[in-house]
Amino acid sequence: DTCYAIYKTLFQDAYPFSYDLAELGQYYIAYHRLMQHWQQVMPGVIHTLHYEQLVADTETRSRALLACCGLPWEERCLRFHANPDASTTASASQVRMPVYTSSLGRWRDYRDQLQPLARMLREAGIEFDD
């Protein structure tokens, strides 16, 4: 899902790796290896949170994330989408919506076209639901 979301987003002049499946695969593999390294070197320091987990149990996962960062829980964390402040991310419209599940597994609609990327990730030992 992460790679597909990056691949389908137009970043204009930024992130040229995002427009080529092979480069995107190499980038994601490098990221995955880097995260594995730091998790081995400093276990328990990096808090990993998968979007699937956040969607399934938003409050519990959000509380755990804030606790890991040493930040207090505030109920408005669950109402992030009501924040009127400007957002300049590629997903600016999405930050105005509550956590949603519609993007989960969306890559499967393009399974055939994404096979080269999926093969690269599997060969690198990266597991994902097929």
105: left (phi over 0), alpha (psi -120 to 50) or beta: left
Residue 66: predicted pLDDT? 95
Inter-residue long-range contacts of 72-77, CB under 8 Å, 24+ positions, other chains counted: none
Residue 54: predicted pLDDT? 87
**Structure tokens given for 109:** 């609609």
* pTM listed for this prediction: 0.77
Exposed/middle/buried for 26, CB within 10 Å: 0-12, 13-18, 19+? middle
Residue 92: predicted pLDDT? 47
Contacts of residue 107, defined as CB under 8 A and 6 or more positions apart, other chains included, come to 1, 3, 4, 114
**Structure tokens given for 20:** 């080529």
Residue 88: predicted pLDDT? 54
pLDDT in tens, the chain (130 residues): 889 889 988 888 889 999 999 999 999 999 999 999 999 999 989 999 988 898 899 999 999 999 999 999 998 888 866 666 555 555 544 555 666 566 777 888 889 999 999 999 999 999 887 7
What are the boundaries of each domain within the chain? 2-123
Largest Cα separation within the chain, whole Å, is 45
